[in-house]
Amino acid sequence: MAALEIIGAPQSNFVRTARMACMEKGVPYTLTAARPHTPSVDAIHPFGKIPVMRHGDLTLCETKAICAYVDLAFDGPPLIPRDPVSAARTEQWISLVNTGFDLVFARQYLAAYFFSGLPDGAPDRAKIDAALPKMREMFGLLDTELGTRAYLAGDAYTLADAFLLPLIHYMRLMPESGEMLQASPHVGAWFERVTSRPSGKETEPPPMPGRN
């Protein structure tokens, strides 16, 4: 069967999650770099979002669906545990990351730095400052939760960790969020655990456009 292909920009947190899922399962894949709303992406995703996946005649969009396919179609350690309670806790944290943390960390805070829309491309300080109180709450929640267990959904690595890691990678690099991470020792220890895995090391993204 044809090799699995992940299509999307390597800087994207969701593209990185899909790549990490493949690596954790031991699934060979190729990464085809593509931005949102380009022809190869639009051919698969109705809204032009990344990543998308191609595997032989099968195409899929949406990161969670791609990861579910990788998890269920291939041998290897499960990305979502098979017992009901652990599976539900993993799904719970995936949802919290995607509907809460991503919204604030990426769509508000990081977007205000990298995609501000201001005429000179400068960071939008008003939007950055508006995001900081909620970010502090979220770092506090993560630090409390990760003080009780090694990984986000329990004592073993799951897909929830693969969704959170790319966000915390960028939080570490930015000034205000970097300070919050420094003040969150349990989040920092978790970050070291997950980035020491091959899937964390080998999918580290290149810099965002306009940054060294």
31-40 per-position pLDDT tens digit: 999 999 999 9
CATH of domain 4-73: 3.40.30.10
Alpha-carbon gap, residue 192 to 51, rounded angstroms: 25
Of the CATH numbers 1.20.1050.10, 3.30.70.2610, 1.10.760.10, 3.30.930.10, which one belongs to the domain with range 84-198? 1.20.1050.10
Would you state the pLDDT for residue 146?
98
The alpha helices in the chain, defined as continuous H runs, are 13-25, 39-42, 63-73, 84-96, 111-114, 125-146, 159-173, 175-182, 185-195, 198-201
Alpha-carbon gap, residue 159 to 96, rounded angstroms: 13
Would you state the pLDDT for residue 108?
96
Would you state the pLDDT for residue 212?
43
Tens-place pLDDT, residues 43-53:
999 999 999 99
Alpha-carbon gap, residue 17 to 126, rounded angstroms: 30
| 8 φ/ψ sector (left φ>0, alpha ψ -120 to 50, else beta) | left
ω into residue 209 within 30 of 0, thus cis?
no
The domain spans of the chain are 4-73, 84-198
Would you state the pLDDT for residue 209?
60
Residues (pLDDT < 70) of the chain are 1, 208-212
Would you state the pLDDT for residue 133?
98
Alpha-carbon gap, residue 81 to 129, rounded angstroms: 38
